[in-house]
Chain A
Amino acid sequence: MKFIDEYQDNKLARGLAHKIAQRSTKTVRLMEFCGGHTHAILRYGIRQLVPKTVEMRSGPGCPVCVTATADLDKAIALSQRPDVIITTFGDMIRVPGSYSSLQKAKAEGADIRIVYSTIDAVEIAQANPKKSVIFIGIGFETTAPTIAASILKAQQDKTENFYVLSLNKLTPPVMKALLDSGEIKLDGIVCPGHVSVIIGTHPYEFIPRDYAVACVISGFEPLDILLCIDKLVEQIEKGEPKVEIAYHRGVKPEGNRKARQLMEDVFEIGEANWRGIGIVPQSGLRIREKYERFDADKAFSVSPKPPREPEGCRCGDIIRGASMPLECKLFRKVCTPESPVGPCMVSSEGACAAYYQYGTLENSQVT
């Protein structure tokens, strides 16, 4: 497939790995923010290709994983209303909440439907005018414009029974929260490629400026990631951190203005609750007042019991990059993709799922 296969070439990958090895003298710790990168790094054995001086840590870039248990509990409580159809992206359905999961609620009779796109959710609302159709709006800047577009479509089509539970989150503010906490020291960040298609380079500029941490935006094929690591190592070796793009075919420095316009029209910035991190100011998207009739938070009042976290699950630490999946006692013993304890094992972008699927003793070693 064009723009995919050519970026998986073995010979070119070895050339890049050789270049990184030649360049790298300092021990560096890099965080791949995005769960899609974590999966690609393990799937293609990139940890074995790069020199031992380069340590890779997974970050909080898995929307399902960072959804707070309290917010998931709210979605499950909403599903219990007989007048409601819940629509959601697939991964969300299997995540255990405090007392149930959307999957369990569905098995018990709640009307919960998996959709591929927000367009499908609006169409379900239009086909079921007597029901209230709530879309569970998770995702980062990549997805937020599509959720904005669904609200605009519902308004345009006068679809009055469509609602969004807005749990959207923003990436640069949570990077700031991680750097401010000082819990783990980072030298560089593999910045998320498809978030950056929307936001461009500007929102990351405070990171090299205020924290002296290198930032390179990466695509998702193995050569993209190796090229990104090469640029990060180069910046760190030279002591010149900055924001660079290693995914020029997809990302423009200015991002996608049109998508951002729609997002800014529908949403305003507010705090968000992140699993494992807590409330991070300015890191979430709320529906603006002019679209409040689509806001599930305002239209429906549910009061789920206080949330509780699964005992022994270290998903929160793994999201912050403070622990590796193998450091969790439940990993591969109690917690498996078939019977996940926490969201990091459920999601196709979760770090635990990646280590479970692709991890070998060699590449999943705790460093």
Chain B
Amino acid sequence: MCLAVPVKIVSIDGDTAETEIAGVRRRVSIAFTPEAKVGDYVLLHTGYAIGVIDEAEAEETLKLLEEIASLSEVH
């Protein structure tokens, strides 16, 4: 029930946004994430965006994981 999936905001109309994931479009409430902009990815939980995904942090984590993987190959 605490499931939340990343969806991309394609347009915003007040408290509501049109979002898209894998070609599926859905209207969601952005009442909890007023800072969300078109192009942002938000975590969608039961019809509400509960948080905006931090893309810079996402890249940082992947970089870290790649470093860990390359270190384990050396050994």
Contacts and interface: CB of A to CB of B under 8 A. Distances in A.
Contacts of A262: 31-32
Interface in B14-71: 21-22, 29, 31-34, 41, 43, 45-48, 50-51, 53-55, 57-58, 60-62, 64-66, 68-71
A325 interface: no
Interface residues of A, number: 57
Interface stretch (A137-145, A179-187, A234-242): A137-145
A166 to B, nearest CB: 15
Contact of B33 (A7, A223, A256): A256
B1 A63 contact: yes
B55 A349 contact: no
Contact of A61 (B2, B31, B58, B68): B2
A84 interface: no
Nearest to B55: A249
B47 A194 contact: no
B1 A139 contact: yes
Contacts of B32: 145, 149, 256, 258-259, 262
26 contacts: A3-B58, A9-B65, A12-B65, A12-B69, A15-B72, A19-B71, A19-B72, A22-B75, A34-B2, A63-B2, A139-B1, A140-B2, A143-B46, A146-B48, A149-B48, A197-B51, A227-B65, A248-B57, A248-B61, A249-B54, A249-B58, A250-B51, A250-B53, A251-B51, A258-B34, A262-B31
A89 B1 CA distance: 9
B1 A349 contact: yes
A1 to B, nearest CB: 5
A259 B32 CA distance: 5
B31 A149 contact: yes
Nearest to A4: B6
Interface of B: 1-6, 8, 21-22, 29, 31-34, 41, 43, 45-48, 50-51, 53-55, 57-58, 60-62, 64-66, 68-73, 75
Interface of A: 1-4, 6-7, 9, 11-12, 14-16, 18-19, 22, 34-36, 61-64, 89, 91, 116-120, 138-140, 142-143, 145-146, 149, 192-195, 197-198, 220, 223, 227, 248-252, 256, 258-259, 262, 347, 349
A249 B50 contact: no
Nearest to A248: B57
Contacts of A227: 61, 64-65
A64 B34 contact: no
B69 to A, nearest CB: 3
Given A15-B71, A34-B2, A249 B65 contact: no
Contacts of A2: 6, 8, 41
Given A4-B6, A15-B68, A197-B43, A143 B62 contact: no
A53 B57 CA distance: 30
A362 to B, nearest CB: 23
Nearest to A120: B47
A64 B1 CA distance: 8
Contacts of B6: 1-4
A206 B46 CA distance: 30
Contacts of A194: 2-4, 43, 45, 50
Contacts of B73: 15
A258 B33 contact: yes
Q: Which 3 A-B pairs have the closest CB atoms?
A: A15-B69, A117-B47, A18-B72
Counting chain A CB atoms within 10 Å of each CB, the highest count among B1, B47, B48 belongs to B1
Contacts of A9: 65
B50 A16 contact: no
B45 A12 contact: no
Contacts of A118: 46-47
Contacts of A349: 1-2
Nearest to B46: A117
A27 B5 CA distance: 34
Contacts of A259: 32, 50
Contacts of B65: 9, 12, 15-16, 223, 227
